[in-house]
Chain A
């Protein structure tokens, strides 16, 4: 079992980010897209923590706390949008909301 270097942690973050991106691109259910965005934010936070741990500073963890704050605000607004979408279109399919109404 090889020792864990910074590259391994960053590769793991990259894999998770790619999985989240695939989720956003492939799924059309808006709740799944929001969950994939959460996965992507989490992966970027992991990259920050890995880098901060590599150099032994607290900056990476501070950045993770900021990402956490942003994710909380984003998911609150996003879920309110999900409720609005469901009320107007009676579906969770984002393609139903592809037309703008001025």
Chain B
């Protein structure tokens, strides 16, 4: 599993560098998704399978979808379809596809040849332990997190809606 850690660390760093150097938002988002998936493999190799699953579901799933929604909302011009055609050329997919294929191969290696969930340091800390700790020791933190999410929801709604005068004009 040490090899898995180092390879996915390299994939993470490479794809993060690609994120901050791209010009197109969509290309950067593709690389960012690969970076998050590689981070999930790192968590898995460190013995944190629950957090690895959360990383894929919440970060690479939900948060990236939010980004893509906003990018799509911002490009409602007449030249949008032309731009889309330029952005999604097949060769733009090659870089992220190669990095994702590396992750896929090493995940297969970790599952089939690595001998189960053998990890780098000590015992794996599973979802049960995390849940016990989360809802006993850190119960107050969970409540605060729920208030934070509510505040985020209200704030996003308030900031994201159109002004009434603007609606009447259009």
Interface residues of A (CB under 8 A from B): 1-4, 6, 8-9, 12, 15-16, 19-20, 22-23, 26-27, 29, 31-32, 34-36, 38-39, 42, 46, 49-50, 52-54, 56-62, 64-66, 68-77, 79-84, 86-87, 92
Find out whether the CB atom of A76 lies under 8 angstroms from the CB atom of B48: no
Find out whether the CB atom of A73 lies under 8 angstroms from the CB atom of B20: no
Judged by DSSP, the binding face of A is helix
Judged by DSSP, the binding face of B is helix
Find out whether the CB atom of A72 lies under 8 angstroms from the CB atom of B51: no
With A53-B121, A58-B130 in contact, is A77–B32 under 8 Å at CB? no
Find out whether the CB atom of A53 lies under 8 angstroms from the CB atom of B16: no
CA distance A69 to B130 in the complex (A): 15
Find out whether the CB atom of A83 lies under 8 angstroms from the CB atom of B51: no
Q: Which of A8, A9, A27, A76 interacts with B20 by CB under 8 Å?
A: A27
With A3-B120, A16-B16 in contact, is A49–B46 under 8 Å at CB? yes
CA distance A52 to B63 in the complex (A): 25
**Interface residue total, chain B, C-beta cutoff 8 A:** 66
CA distance A73 to B134 in the complex (A): 19
CA distance A80 to B145 in the complex (A): 20
CA distance A39 to B9 in the complex (A): 14
Q: Given contacts A35-B20, A69-B149, could you give 5 more A-B pairs where the C-beta distance is less than 8 Å?
A: A49-B46, A53-B125, A62-B137, A75-B63, A76-B156
Residues of A within 8 A of B103 (CB): none
Find out whether the CB atom of A35 lies under 8 angstroms from the CB atom of B151: no
Considering only residues 121-170 of chain B, those with a C-beta below 8 Å from chain A are: 121-123, 125, 129-130, 132-134, 137-138, 141, 145, 148-149, 151-153, 155-160, 162, 166
Interface membership of B94, Cβ < 8 A: no
Find out whether the CB atom of A69 lies under 8 angstroms from the CB atom of B148: yes
Interface residues of B (CB under 8 A from A): 2-3, 5-6, 9, 12-13, 16-17, 19-20, 25, 28-29, 32, 35-36, 39, 42-43, 46-48, 50-51, 54-55, 58-59, 62-63, 66-67, 69-71, 73-74, 119-123, 125, 129-130, 132-134, 137-138, 141, 145, 148-149, 151-153, 155-160, 162, 166
Residues of B within 8 A of A35 (CB): 19-20, 28-29, 32, 67
